[in-house]
Structure 1
Amino acid sequence: MTRDPWEARDLARVAVFAALIVVLGLMGPVPVPGLVPITAQTLGVMLAGTVLGWKRGGAAVLIVLVLVAIGLPVLAGGRGGLGVFAGPTVGYLIGWLPGAIVTGLIAHSGRLTWWRVLLAAVVGGMPVVYAVGIPLYAAIGGFSLEQAALFTVAFLPGDAIKALVATVLTLLLFRAYPPAFPPAVRAARARTAA
C-alpha cells in the first residue's frame, strides 16, 4: 500500500473544495415543493473526490457538515444548524461524505483516465448518495421507500450532467494544474509520461 502523506498545502486544497461546495449550494437553488432542492452542491462533492481523492475529498465534505452543524447558512437557501439534521433531506446531506470517499477511491484507484473519473463521479455522486438519502427521506418524510425512490428520479438527469461536468473539469484541471491533486496522482502521471 502506498503512503499518501499530506502536504501543508493540502489544508488549503481541502478548504477550497469545502468553499466550492458551499458556493455551489448558494447559487440559485431550485426549490421543488415537497422534495430536496436542486442545487449544484453534489457537483462540488464529486469534484472533491475526483480531484482531492478519498481522504482529502472526505475532509472537505466533513468541513461543510461541521459548518452546517454549527449553524452557518451554507446550504441551499441559506440553511444551516442542527435542525437540518432532523429534516427529511438529511440523508442526502450525510450521503455526501461516503459519496466523496467512494468517488475519490474510484477516481484515484489507477491512472486518472476519463472513464475512471466518470465512473467515480457517477457511482459516488449518485447511487452512494441516494443509498443514504432515500431511506432517511422515506423514514423522516413519512413515505414508502418506493415513493422516496420515485421522487429521486427527478434528480437523475441533473446529477448525470453534474457527473459529466465533474469529469471534464477534473481532467482539464489535471492537465492545467497537476499540483491541485495529491502527490500519488502526480507521481502516477510522471511515471506514465516517462
Structure 2
Amino acid sequence: MPLSSPDDRTTAAPEAPTAVPGLLPEPPATRRTGTDVALVATFAAFVAACALVPAIPTGTPVPITLQTFGVVVAGLVLGARRGFLAVALYLVVGLAGVPVFAEMTGGLGVLGKPSVGYLLAFPAAAAAAGWLGGLALRARPAWRYPLLVAAGLGSSFLVTHPSGILGLMARLGVTAREALAIDLVYWPGDVVKNLLAAGVTLAVVRAFPDLRRGRR
C-alpha cells in the first residue's frame, strides 16, 4: 500500500483539558465572605424570631423561650465561627435597644435581670454547638442525628446552664443550690429543643450540602 505523504495527514486538533476534581478554582474570597455575612445576618434574625415567640411562664424569674433553640440551630448549621458571629450580632442589636429579646425587650436594662447569665452565654453556646456539631457531621450517617443531639445538649449544659446559674445567683442573691433548683425547671424543655434542633440541622445540611463544607 502507498504511504501517505505528510501533506495528506490531517492535523489533529488539540485535546480539551480534562477537568481534574479538586483542582477547580475556588469561588472568589469576596463571594464567600458575602455569603457568610448574609448567613450570619439571616441566623441573627432567626434567633430574634425565636425569642419573639410568646414565652412560657414557669413560676420562676426566667420564663421558657425558644431563644436557646435558635442559638443551637445557628451553631449546628453555621459552625463555630459563623454561629458565634450570628448570635453575637443578635446580642449586640438587642443591647443597642432593639426589642429582639424575650417578651419584646431590649436595651442595657436586660443586664439587670435574672436571665442575664443565659443571655450572655448565647454566643459561646453557639460556638460550642458548632464545634461539636462539626464532629457529629463527620460521623457515619446513622450516628449523625444522636451525635447532633449530644452536641446541642453539650453546649447547653456546659455553657448556657452554668452561666445562667451564675446570673441567677448574682441577680437574685440566692445560693448555688437554690439557683440550680431554679435552673432544673428548664432542663426538660432544653432536651426537647435540642432534639428538634438536631432534626432541623440534618434537614438543612442535606438540602444545602455545601453550607458547612470547609467551614468552622
Q: Shorter-normalised TM-score: what interval?
A: 0.7 to 0.9
- For 2:65 and 2:102, locate their aligned partners in 1 and report how far apart those are by CA, in whole Å: 7
* Cα deviation digits, residues 127-186 of structure 1 (max 9, x gap): 31011110121121111111111111111111000000011110111112224x23316x
- For 2:59 and 2:105, locate their aligned partners in 1 and report how far apart those are by CA, in whole Å: 16
One-letter amino acid of the counterpart of residue 11, structure 1: V
- For 1:97 and 1:81, locate their aligned partners in 2 and report how far apart those are by CA, in whole Å: 17
| 1:21 Cα deviation after fit | 0.6
Q: Residue 178 of structure 1 corresponds to which residue in structure 2?
A: 209
- For 2:59 and 2:93, locate their aligned partners in 1 and report how far apart those are by CA, in whole Å: 26
The structure with more helix, counted as a fraction of residues = 1
Q: Residue 111 of structure 1 corresponds to which residue in structure 2?
A: 138
Task: Tell me the TM-score normalised to structure 1 length.
Answer: 0.87
C-alpha contact 1:91 1:136 (8 A) present in aligned 2? yes
> How well do the aligned residues superpose, as a CA RMSD in angstroms?
1.8
C-alpha contact 2:164 2:183 (8 A) present in aligned 1? no
Q: Residue 75 of structure 2 corresponds to which residue in structure 1?
A: 49
Consecutive unaligned residues of structure 2, counting only runs of 5 or more, are 1-28
Q: Residue 124 of structure 1 corresponds to which residue in structure 2?
A: 155
Task: Tell me the TM-score normalised to structure 2 length.
Answer: 0.79
- Pairing of 1:84-163 with structure 2 (within 5 A): 84-109=110-135, 111=138, 113-163=144-194
Consecutive unaligned residues of structure 1, counting only runs of 5 or more, are 186-194
Equivalences, count: 181
Give the SS at the match of 1:88. coil
Identity %: 35
| 1:18 Cα deviation after fit | 0.6
Show structure 1 runs of 4+ deviating over 4 A: none
- For 1:96 and 1:123, locate their aligned partners in 2 and report how far apart those are by CA, in whole Å: 13
Higher CA-based Rg = 2
